[in-house]
Amino acid sequence: MIQQTVIKVGMADLNIAMDGAILKTTGLGSCVGLTLFDPIRKIAGMAHVMLPSSDIAREATINLAKYSDTAIPELLDRMLAQGARIERMKAKMAGGAQMFAMSGQSETMRIGPRNVESCTAMLHRFRIPILSQDTGGSVGRTIEFNSNNGILSIRSVQFGIKEI
């Protein structure tokens, strides 16, 4: 049996993987698990994005992985430093759920949908196509992204495991 390396990506965290390693993050509710893949170099990246924009940051030193507008450029920089090419990148996303139903929801309470919209806009800005996504709804997800083949495995209590 071949032992695969698993690289954990925490909340408001990001990392890259190569050589068949697996990127894994848990606890995706309103957060988005954004993945990027260069299929030629087999370089994978994952960001666990918590919030749509760093404009709302209150911390003195911004955690670049926390916001979609800073996490995606940082993830791209790390992948490009390892030899990936932006014109070969493909994206997949999971998460962005609306975990709590509230009547008369204000825009600020739509964190999950806003995270998805913000990630989509950033990818569009870099001209990176989104191959597939499993976003929205009201379920939590755990994802694993394979750096060998770019398969994103999504697990939820309600729907079991699916691959995109």
Residue numbers annotated as active site: 31
Q: Using CB atoms within 10 Å of the CB of residue 2, give its burial: 0 to 12 exposed, 13 to 18 middle, 19+ buried.
A: exposed
Q: How far is CA 163 from CA 17, 29, 115, 138, in A?
A: 18, 18, 21, 19
Given the structure tokens 């994005």, which residue do they identify?
49
Given the structure tokens 């950033």, which residue do they identify?
122
Cα–Cα nearest to 48, from 141, 162, 151, 164: 141
